[in-house]
Amino acid sequence: MSNIHTYTNGSGYEGNTGVAAVLFQCSSQMLKAILCYHLGPTSDHTNVDTEGIGTILAVWLLRQMNINFSTSKMFTDIQNFMQILGKRGRKTGQYIQNEFIAMAEELWQHVPHSDLLWIQWISAHSKVHGNKMADAEAKQAALGHSSPSHLLPPLLHCCPLPISAVACKQKHMQELNRAWQKEWEASPQYQRFHTIDPNIHFAKFHKVTQKKLCLPHMDISCLVQIQTGHTPLASYLHKIGKMHMSRCPSCWEHIQIEIRETVQHFVLYCPGVY
């Protein structure tokens, strides 16, 4: 008996998704079998679903090759699939996980002398030959190249697979974000923000200030006021009718020069501040 390594990989390529599994016999480092499957548009399936199909292909290869092995290691570059296998309750792609567990149990009975079936994470950019081969086959599958249906597990005989509800929600949110971005860029507020900071990103600003730096609300408010110019300085107070003039009171008092009190002037040039 020998040890077996299988590598699975899912790939989104040119708007479509493909998945592949390759099987190596460790004693001879020889490639024994390859299975690949074209899933369809990337918007119809999540990464977890894709990698789940890859593990099903790997188990099916072990079953169909009729190899007596002592230990089999299955390498995947998606950690989420491994994590949700150990959780109870309803999850995304539940039917895929149930199919994988049922096939693994059948494999255990089919190869009675095998001890373990390991599922191990491997880096997506690792230079392991088996992982690189699985990635290349997955890209070909994304282009529409699938193994003959009679070689695939029964779950994949009916095509296409059900569309993922999570993937539908993600697609809907992407469409909403694109529509929001289009409306935002057409609004007069965008033009004002664009002159302040053309790379402003509200979600990124929220993540940095509140989640990473843990700034209190008052400090965040001050940062926004400084960035937008909505500060209690003479130029803005004059603009909203709260002051008669926009000149800097410190400059007028010290050097009798009439200069607009803007944020840039107050922070960098005003002699009254220093």
Q: Which of 52, 34, 219 is nearest to 134 (CA)?
A: 34
Task: Say what the pLDDT of residue 45 is.
Answer: 86
Phi, psi of 29 (to 5 degrees): 55, 35
Q: Give every CB contact of residue 76 below 8 A, 6+ residues apart in sequence.
A: 7, 8, 9, 51, 54, 55, 82, 119, 120, 121, 122
pLDDT at residue number 176: 94
Can you give the pLDDT at residue 133? 87
Q: Mean pLDDT in runs of 10 for the chain (274 residues)? A: 78 88 74 87 86 88 70 76 69 79 78 65 76 87 88 82 87 91 84 66 71 79 80 89 88 84 85 72
pLDDT value for 172? 92
14: its two tokens: 């040119």
The residues spanned by each domain of the chain are 2-162
Instruction: At 233, give phi and psi (nearest 5°).
Output: -105, 165
Contact 131, 75 (CB under 8 A): yes
Task: Look at domain 2-162 and name its CATH class.
Answer: alpha beta
The structure tokens listed for 213 are 């730096």
